[in-house]
Amino acid sequence: SALQYFPWIRAMCERAIRERNLVPGRFIAVRKMKESEADGDLPAILAAVDIMGASFVETLDTKGTDGSNPHLGGPATITGYFGGIGQPNEHALAWVKEFLYYYTNYGVQDVLNFNAGTIFLGFLLYKLGVDIHFKISVFFGSDNPYHALWIMIAAKLFSRDDGSTPLVGFNWSNSVNNATIEASSLVRKSLGFEECIRFEHHITETYRSIVIQPYNRREELLEVAARVPNISAKHEGADPGMEARRNHSSDILDYFRDKSEVIASGDWDNLKQNFLDKVEACNTTAEKLIQKGIGVVPAQRLHKA
């Protein structure tokens, strides 16, 4: 995360061929959807990840950082976001409307979800027959087993007759520890969701603007992955040591920049390098897991056992 631009896929795959490493099995995009639609990257990325056999999650433009809360204005009002970035008032239904637009026009099924109201609406859409899949975002702040418990109970209540649920990804807060993941895995298993709801855990983070650095949870992952199946090891940044050597280290705020501004500023190649660094960090984690006898799932149509 985040796979923002289609040309990055070619650079990633060329390096994978050259260096004989893995292409990850899951990608997230946080770019403005309308911008991605306008330049053609949206359908191109959807097609590419399908060809590669990877899963892909889009972030809709309807979110709390889109000006929906007129009382908040970015870092200057940072404490105002402590209650969550939100989907205030009519924006919950606007989120549904936006999803249905991309679902019917481009076949987008997997989207990010970070608000209790839109999580409920996602469950409801699925129960009504719409094939939505969603991943609960790290911004939702799920950081204890009781939080996971009520979400998965809701998933069970709104599951279809075949037992399936639209909740396919549960991204923990950065503050979560292995004990919480293990306790929640028991709930997940007892409800029959062990194979269909992946726990997503940030192993690395962007070097700037989100957590205190150095942040690297790889050793904790190696421990918990031996006991808890179906964990997606999310790499939002490079290993901190590599980040410190880059002229432009990764920054979560880069996700919200316009493409035209990125190009005009001269940061286009910098952001591509940041993305490739994240893929390298992901490969490092995969190698460590394999060394411990723990299987990994890369892009399934590019790599075969």
The predicted pLDDT at position 83 comes to 63
Determine the straight-line distance between the first and last CA of the chain, rounded to whole angstroms: 25
Q: Are 71 and 86 in contact (CB under 8 A)?
A: no
Is the model's pLDDT at 253 over the cut of 80?
yes
pLDDT at 225: 98
Mean pLDDT across 300-305:
87
Of residues 84 and 255, more confidence is placed in: 255
237, 278 in Cβ contact below 8 A?
yes
Domains of the chain: 7-68+83-291 (3.20.20)
Nearest to 85 by CA among 256, 199, 234: 256
Burial category of 44 from C-beta neighbours within 10 Å (exposed 0-12, middle 13-18, buried 19 and up): middle
Average pLDDT of the chain is: 95
Look up the pTM and report it. 0.94
For residue 139, which amino acid is it? Answer: F
Q: What is the pLDDT of residue 157?
A: 97
Between CA 76 and CA 199, with CA 116 as vertex, the angle to 5 degrees is 95
Ordered DSSP codes for 88-105: -TTHHHHHHHHHHHHHHH
Q: How far apart are CA 67 and CA 69, in angstroms?
A: 5
Max Cα-Cα span within the chain? 53
Using pLDDT thresholds of 50, 70 and 90, give the confidence band for residue 82. low
Average pLDDT over residues 274-300: 98
- Summarised one tens digit per residue, pLDDT across range 36-71 is 999 999 999 999 999 999 999 999 999 877 777 777
More confident residue, 251 or 69: 251
68 or 83: which leads in pLDDT: 68
235 bridge partner residues: 204
| pLDDT > 80? residue 81 | no
What tens digit of pLDDT does each residue of 121-140 get?
Answer: 999 999 999 999 999 999 89
pLDDT digits (tens, 9 = 90+) for 157-197: 999 999 999 999 999 999 999 999 999 999 999 999 999 99
Q: What's residue 29's pLDDT?
A: 97
Instruction: Encode pLDDT of 148-158 as tens digits.
Output: 999 999 999 99
Predicted confidence (pLDDT) at residue 2 exceeds the cutoff of 70? yes
Whole-number pLDDT of residue 73:
73
pLDDT of 77 reads 76
Confidence of residue 305 (pLDDT cuts 50, 70, 90): low
Q: Quick: pLDDT tens for 88-114.
A: 899 999 999 999 999 999 999 999 999
